[in-house]
Amino acid sequence: MRVLGIESSCDETAAAVVENGDRLLSTMLASSAAIHAQYGGVVPEVAAREHTMAILPVVKGVLAQAHLAMQDIDAVAVTEGPGLLGALLVGVTFGKALALGLNIPIVGVHHLEAHLYANALVEPLRFPALGLLVSGGHTTLVLWEDHGQLKVLGETRDDAAGEAFDKGARALGLCYPGGPEIERLASSVPQTALSLPVAHLGSQTLDFSFSGVKTATVELARREPHRKAEIAKALQIAVVTALARNVGRALDQYPAHDLYLAGGVTANQCLRERMQQIALEKGVAVHFPPRQYCTDNAAMVASLGYYKLIKGVRLPYNASPRVNYPLGT
């Protein structure tokens, strides 16, 4: 089954064609990140307008790249939420119109669950597993028992890990998105004498909190304007330490043999190395998506869409985007 995936939840208009959930035939993306960069963050109305202009060329482009015609697509999968309403509307409406016109099924997928499926493009998924989703808007730890069976074990109570990087970067005068900039700057120094706080919410919870480290970074950047690289390194260490601590605790508590990472922050090398170390200590296998599929893309949407489609899940034609879409529902 050839599934056309469509992603438009934030600032990336993406399309991809994936066969049977794991064989990527083509993928394409148009990003409006450069436009948002001048405002220091995503402007929802601008993102929605850019999606409307990009979606048709991106979908046509991805089909051309795979040497396919519209009629060669068996089904459509679209990000249903969570995300920005105006942005999601473009993808969902376009997907529904296309499916209706071609008389093929359409399925809606959860954006964060889809991030985990970037791993399915590399090798078959193995369950039960632990999943760590770290993006610009979410930091969520899940017990992933099977396709469609996710239980949230912990999530951020305030800012997401990616947000801490983005806001920290802004305080250091770096561009948006801040994560890659923080990583680049952090690797320009071998070590840092500075330290930033790692929130500890107690032994009863696997939740995270990143607002403290974000505020402390802004404060430190003001006090030590000439130690930017050291601050970036301290921020990276604090965020990675917080993520690693809860992953280690979850692996002690739950029967998972595999650890899957997903989301934009997973591109970070320091995070990858730390997770490899924990996986080794706990005797589990750790999996990362290829870097280009860590951030938003439509291949992950098409992959998850396939697994939902074969179970008979469909998106009703009168469905609206789900701006707030709890994971595991």
Interface residues with Zn ion (CB under 5 A)?
Answer: 135, 296
Distance (Å, whole) CA 254 – CA 235: 29
Q: Which stretch in 15-23, 172-180, 211-219, 300-308 sits in contact with ligand KG4 by CB under 6 A?
A: 172-180
Distance (Å, whole) CA 58 – CA 150: 31
Burial 107-146 (b: 16+ CB within 10 A, else e): bbbbbbbbbbbbbbbeeebeeebbbbbbbbbbbbbbbbee
> What minimum distance in Å lies between the beta carbon of 264 and Zn ion?
6
Locus of tokens 């109570």: 157
By CB under 6 A, is residue 177 in contact with ligand KG4? yes
Q: Which stretch in 44-52, 53-61, 173-181, 222-230 sits in contact with ligand KG4 by CB under 6 A?
A: 173-181
With CB cut-offs between 5 and 8 Å by kind, which of ligand KG4, Zn ion, none does residue 7 bind?
none
By CB under 6 A, is residue 178 in contact with ligand KG4? yes
By CB under 6 A, is residue 136 in contact with ligand KG4? yes
- Taking CA atoms, 15 is separated from 150, 236, 240, 268, in Å, by 25, 31, 31, 24
Of 82, 95, 105, 179, the residue at the interface with ligand KG4 (CB under 6 A) is 179
* Residues 184-223, mask of contacts with ligand KG4 (x by CB under 6 A): ----------------------------------------
Distance (Å, whole) CA 71 – CA 253: 48
With CB cut-offs between 5 and 8 Å by kind, which of ligand KG4, Zn ion, none does residue 179 bind?
ligand KG4
Return the number of the residue (26 or 140) whose C-beta is nearest ligand KG4. Answer: 140
Answer whether 79's CB lies under 8 Å from 48's CB.
Answer: no
Return the number of the residue (131 or 178) whose C-beta is nearest ligand KG4. Answer: 178
Answer whether 15's CB lies under 8 Å from 62's CB.
Answer: yes
> What minimum distance in Å lies between the beta carbon of 134 and Zn ion?
10
> What minimum distance in Å lies between the beta carbon of 301 and Zn ion?
10
Distance (Å, whole) CA 150 – CA 126: 13
Distance (Å, whole) CA 83 – CA 156: 17
Q: Which stretch in 26-34, 73-81, 219-227, 260-268 sits in contact with ligand KG4 by CB under 6 A?
A: 260-268
Of 105, 108, 154, 264, the residue at the interface with ligand KG4 (CB under 6 A) is 264
> What minimum distance in Å lies between the beta carbon of 19 and ligand KG4?
24
Three-state SS for 21? coil
* Residues 18-47, mask of contacts with ligand KG4 (x by CB under 6 A): ------------------------------
With CB cut-offs between 5 and 8 Å by kind, which of ligand KG4, Zn ion, none does residue 268 bind?
ligand KG4
Alpha-carbon torsion angle 111, 112, 116, 117, nearest 10: -10
DSSP assignment of 216-251 equals HHHHHHHH-TT-HHHHHHHHHHHHHHHHHHHHHHHH
By CB under 6 A, is residue 230 in contact with ligand KG4? no
Distance (Å, whole) CA 78 – CA 217: 37
Return the number of the residue (135 or 139) whose C-beta is nearest Zn ion. Answer: 135
Residue 15, strand partner residues: 6, 28
By CB under 6 A, is residue 113 in contact with ligand KG4? no
| Cβ within 8 Å of residue 79, ≥6 positions away | 6, 7, 8, 9, 88, 91, 92, 108, 109, 110, 111, 114, 301
By CB under 6 A, is residue 79 in contact with ligand KG4? no
Binding site for ligand KG4 (CB under 6 A): 10, 135-137, 162, 165-166, 177-180, 183, 263-265, 267-268, 295-296
